[in-house]
């Protein structure tokens, strides 16, 4: 009985983490698209910005794919808390 409960909890946690990872990846892709649009508008004034965008956007797309992984998305809040020295709040 305990094994069934544990498996159900794991499956729910995986689905929740997967959904959050997908949302985070979609957000990163939307931001990359917005940056690309803004860069295209600003690019009318110089070649340097176009060159920078050509290098930056593939990296942002790779980052959005990386952030789409469920374990990465689940680990990011923990890493940020550890980096800033803030532990989880006790409930």
Q: What's the average model confidence in pLDDT over 23-46?
A: 83
Q: Is it the case that residue 91 has pLDDT exceeding 60?
A: no
Q: Tell me, what's the pLDDT at 90?
A: 59
22: in domain: yes
43: in domain: yes
The pTM of the full predicted model, rounded to 2 decimals, is: 0.43
Domain range for 36 is: 2-84
| Residue whose C-alpha is closest to residue 33's, from 9, 6, 61 | 61
91: in domain: no
Alpha helices in 43-91 (DSSP H): 47-67, 70-84
49: in domain: yes
Q: Is it the case that residue 49 has pLDDT exceeding 70?
A: no
90: in domain: no
89: in domain: no
Model pLDDT for residues 17-27, shown as the tens digit of each residue = 888 888 888 89
Q: What's the average model confidence in pLDDT over 15-36?
A: 88
Residue 85 backbone zone (phi > 0: left; psi -120 to 50: alpha; other: beta): left
Cα(71)–Cα(49) distance, integer angstroms: 34
How many domains does the chain fold into?
1
**Comparison of pLDDT for 49 and 8, the residue scoring more:** 8
């Amino acid at each position: 009985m305990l094994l069934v409960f544990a498996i159900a909890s794991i499956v729910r946690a995986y689905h929740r983490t997967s959904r959050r990872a997908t949302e985070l990846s979609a957000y990163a892709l939307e931001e990359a698209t917005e940056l690309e649009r803004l860069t295209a508008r600003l690019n009318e004034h110089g070649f340097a910005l176009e060159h920078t965008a050509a290098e930056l956007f593939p990296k942002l797309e790779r980052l959005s794919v990386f952030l789409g992984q469920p374990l990465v998305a689940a680990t990011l809040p923990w890493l940020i808390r550890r980096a800033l020295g803030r532990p989880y709040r006790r409930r």
